[in-house]
A and B are shown apart, each in its own frame.
Chain A
Amino acid sequence: MNITYILKDSYHIMQKDLLALRRNRESVAALIILPIAFLLLFGYIFPSATTEQHMPMGIVNLDNGQASSALVTQIENMNKNSGAMNIVNYSSVEEAKTQIDRGNVYGTFIIPPGFSNNLTNGKSGNLIVYVDNSNPQLSSSVESAASNTITALNGMQAEINVVKMGSTTVNAQSIVFPFTQNIETTIPGKSNYFNFLAPGLMIMIVMITVMTGIPEAISKEREMGTFDGMLSAPINQISIILGYTASLCVKGFAQVILVLAIAIIFFGVTIQGSILLAFFLLLLGIFSFVGIGILAVSSSKNQATGTTIVNLIMFPMMFLAGIFFPIQQMPWFMQDISKIIPLTYAADAMRKVMLLNANISDVIIQILILVAFGIVTMSLAVILFRRSMTT
Chain B
Amino acid sequence: MTEYALELNNITKKFGDFTAVNDLSLRVERGEIFGFLGPNGAGKSTTIRMLCTLAKPTSGSALIAGYDLIKDPSKVREKIGLVAEKMIMYDDLTAAENLRFFGKLYKMPKQKREERIDLLFNLVDMQKWKDTQISKFSTGMKQRINVIRALLPEPEILFMDEPTLGLDPQTTFAIREIIRDINNNGVTVILTTHAMTEAEALSHRIAIIDHGKIAALDTPQNLKNIISKSDTSIFKTKITNLTSKMVEKIRSLKVVTALAQQDDNNLKISANGMGALNQIIDTIRIEGGDISSITNSNEPTLEDVFLTVTGKEIRDHVNEKSNILEHNSNPQTRVR
Contact = CB atoms under 8 A, between A and B. Distances in A.
Contacts of A8: 104
A168 to B, nearest CB: 85
A364 to B, nearest CB: 40
Interface stretch (A54-62, A78-86, A99-107, A228-236): A228-236
A234 B90 contact: no
Contacts of A234: 74, 77-78, 105-107
Contact of B105 (A12, A24, A228): A12
Nearest to A16: B101
Interface string A328-343: 0000000000000000
A390 B53 CA distance: 8
Given A23-B133, A230-B105, A232-B77, A390 B93 contact: no
Contacts of B74: 234
A20 interface: yes
B90 A391 contact: no
Contact of A5 (B97, B102, B107): B107
A225 interface: yes
A53 interface: no
A225 B84 contact: yes
Contact of A226 (B52, B77, B88): B88
Contact of B86 (A20, A228, A230, A390): A228
A374 to B, nearest CB: 27
Interface string B68-92: 0000001001101010111111111
B90 A16 contact: yes
Interface residues of B, number: 30
Contact of B106 (A19, A224, A233): A233
Nearest to B13: A391
Given A23-B92, A229-B82, A232-B82, A390 B105 contact: no
A24 B87 CA distance: 20
A235 B88 contact: no
Interface string B91-129: 111000100011011110000000000000000000000
Contact of A232 (B52, B85, B89, B104): B52
Interface in B44-68: 49, 52-56
Given A233-B106, A234-B77, A390-B55, A12 B101 contact: yes
A21 to B, nearest CB: 8
Contacts of B80: 232
B262 to A, nearest CB: 33
B62 to A, nearest CB: 14
Contacts of A390: 53-56
Given A16-B90, A225-B87, A228-B88, A233 B54 contact: no
Contact of B93 (A5, A23, A229): A23
Nearest to A223: B86
Given A233-B77, A390-B54, A20 B105 contact: no
Main secondary structure of the interface of A (DSSP, over half): helix
A9 B101 CA distance: 10
Contacts of B93: 16, 19-20, 23
Interface string A212-245: 0000000000001110111111110000000000
B205 interface: no
B251 interface: no
A229 B107 CA distance: 15
Contacts of A391: 55-56
A231 to B, nearest CB: 6
B105 A226 contact: no
B30 interface: no
A12 B105 CA distance: 7
Contacts of A228: 49, 52, 54, 82, 84, 86, 88
Given A5-B107, A12-B101, A19-B97, A231 B90 contact: no
A233 B77 CA distance: 6
* Most chain B beta-carbon contacts within 10 A, residue among A8, A20, A23, A233: A233
A224 B90 CA distance: 9
Nearest to B80: A232
Contact of B54 (A21, A24, A226, A231): A231
B239 to A, nearest CB: 44
A225 B82 CA distance: 12
A79 to B, nearest CB: 61
Contacts of B268: none
A9 B133 contact: no
Contacts of A24: 92
B149 interface: yes
A30 to B, nearest CB: 14
A5 B77 CA distance: 15
Interface centre among B80, B85, B92, B107 (most CB of A within 10 A): B92
A389 B129 CA distance: 33
Interface in A1-35: 5, 8-9, 12, 15-16, 19-21, 23-24
Interface string A72-111: 0000000000000000000000000000000000000000
B51 to A, nearest CB: 10
Given A19-B97, A24-B92, A225-B87, A235 B105 contact: yes
Nearest to A24: B92
A391 to B, nearest CB: 6
A382 B80 CA distance: 26
Interface of A: 5, 8-9, 12, 15-16, 19-21, 23-24, 224-226, 228-235, 390-391
21 contacts: A12-B101, A24-B92, A224-B91, A225-B84, A226-B90, A228-B82, A228-B84, A229-B82, A229-B149, A232-B54, A232-B77, A232-B82, A233-B102, A234-B74, A234-B105, A234-B107, A235-B105, A390-B54, A390-B55, A390-B56, A391-B55
Minimum-distance CB pairs A-B, first 8: A225-B86, A229-B88, A20-B92, A23-B92, A234-B77, A233-B105, A12-B104, A234-B78
Interface of B: 49, 52-56, 74, 77-78, 80, 82, 84-93, 97, 101-102, 104-107, 133, 149
